[in-house]
Amino acid sequence: MQNFDELMRAARAGARQATAVRKHMARPPMIRASLGLPGELVVDSFAGGGGASTGIEQALGRPVDIAINHDPEAIAMHQANHPHTRHYLSDVWEVDPLEATNGKPVGLAWFSPDCKHFSRAKGSQLRDNKIRGLAWVVIHWVKRVRPRIIILENVCEFDTWGPLDPKTGRPCAVRKGQTFKRWLRKLKSYGYNVEYRYLVASDYGAPTIRKRLYLVARCDGLPIVWPEPTHGTGEGLKPYIPVSDILQWELPCPSIFERERPLKDATLRRVAEGVRRFVIDAQEPFIVRHGHYSTKTGAGIIPGRGAGTWRGQRLSQPMSTICATEDRHLVVPHIAKHYGGVVGHDVNRAIGTITARDHHSVVQTLLERAAAAAPKGNHAEAVYAFISKYYGNAGAGHDVRDPMHTLTGKDRFALVKVHGQPHKILDIGMRMLKPREQYRGQGFPDSYVIDEGPRGEKLPQSSQTRMAGNSVCPAMSEALAVAQLTVSVRQAA
């Protein structure tokens, strides 16, 4: 019976994997046939949870052949979503390219070396020379198997790669970029044409403004082609994908005022400033209107539609029909960022860069139409165009054109004017982004398995967040792969 149960678990896991592969590899047959790199292998080194592999598979219409990573949880996530790939749970230096490829030619090799020792986010912390030198593994693969196309992704500061000061252990300012230039010369010495650019993921269909350095190297004599942006504000471009499209509006957003552990003052100040910018002073705030709202859980229900049903729209759009049973609540959300002295942004734009320890949160300001807002006349507008504060000796309050005063664990701000209609702030809720929202922000499909490995083993939420922040946006690897391989197909034709 035990063997039977194990077989059934394996069968169910295989079915989940196959379904995920079919969904996120759904590309037109013509593209799959033309870009499939027949007879050549595709390698994803530093594969992580599978962002680069997902985009490459979307471009090729077939699985990546080899994936390498030292992190067991990353490999588990990769295996759950890319079951037909051969996985190496190993340090990248311990994998022999000749042995791994079994003598077959490599058409495309993708490299995403650890970037944390180049990123600005590391601040003044000491650097690790071993990790900073991981990009040399590219030269190792060039010497052994000479991939026809190489694509590398890293933070923009990768081009500052240079020696560390032996006394301080930090980058030597006067020798900044020396190692990067030496690495480029070495790659070119093996007959590769090399170019690199700084690209923003939101320009290619990802819901994040994540900006990275992308390097392409070819040794087949064909030109390097950079993909044209598909999203933006210009003519013929699709609109950017906003944060509002990736958020799970149905999730509770607990009040900041009723927490067992009060929020830190710095967090409260960011929330207060965000409410001022994106609710009180916003010219066109984004609203989510719903019926009955719980200030205990931050959850809402639209009558007749059940729990977890929310409707978002800009205030400039005509309001949809209001049912007689609905109350007069509005939720105005924005995104808060808890790092680097920044406040955040509204939900009408792409999300900021998601990191391995993501600091984004959703802040929802619950508004209720003020009782004094009579249908006739505008008398209430003049009365309520200010903020009242309910704590200490706060006095009468202050004008909405002034910065909001410090928000404490017991603050209550009373009334604001939203497009001519007086509303009072009933509550302010805040929650961190959930892993599924983080993966949506990177551009992963919802079919991507993020919470378990190939045998159903659970992946903790901290690991899911870490792999989301370290992942390549699939839209970027897809666009770059299509651009390079389309040239190859045209040449062959």
pLDDT, position 23: 44
Span 26-49, average pLDDT: 73
Q: What are the tens digits of pLDDT across the range 347-379?
A: 667 777 767 766 677 888 787 776 544 344 333
Decide if 149 contacts 107 (C-beta within 8 A): yes
Q: Report whether pLDDT(195) > 80.
A: yes
Per-residue confidence at 274, pLDDT binned at 50, 70, 90? confident
Domains of the chain, first to last: 2-240+457-492 (3.40.50.150), 249-433 (no CATH)
Per-residue confidence at 12, pLDDT binned at 50, 70, 90? low
Span 222-232, average pLDDT: 96
Mean of all residue pLDDT scores within the chain: 75
**86-89 and 66-69 as β-strands: parallel, antiparallel, unpaired?**
parallel
Share of the chain above pLDDT 90, in %: 42
Q: Report whether pLDDT(317) > 90.
A: no
Q: Which residue has the higher pLDDT, 227 or 316?
A: 227
CA distance 142 to 120: 29
Q: Report whether pLDDT(278) > 80.
A: no
Q: What are the tens digits of pLDDT across the range 72-97?
A: 999 999 999 999 999 999 999 999 99
Share of the chain above pLDDT 70, in %: 65
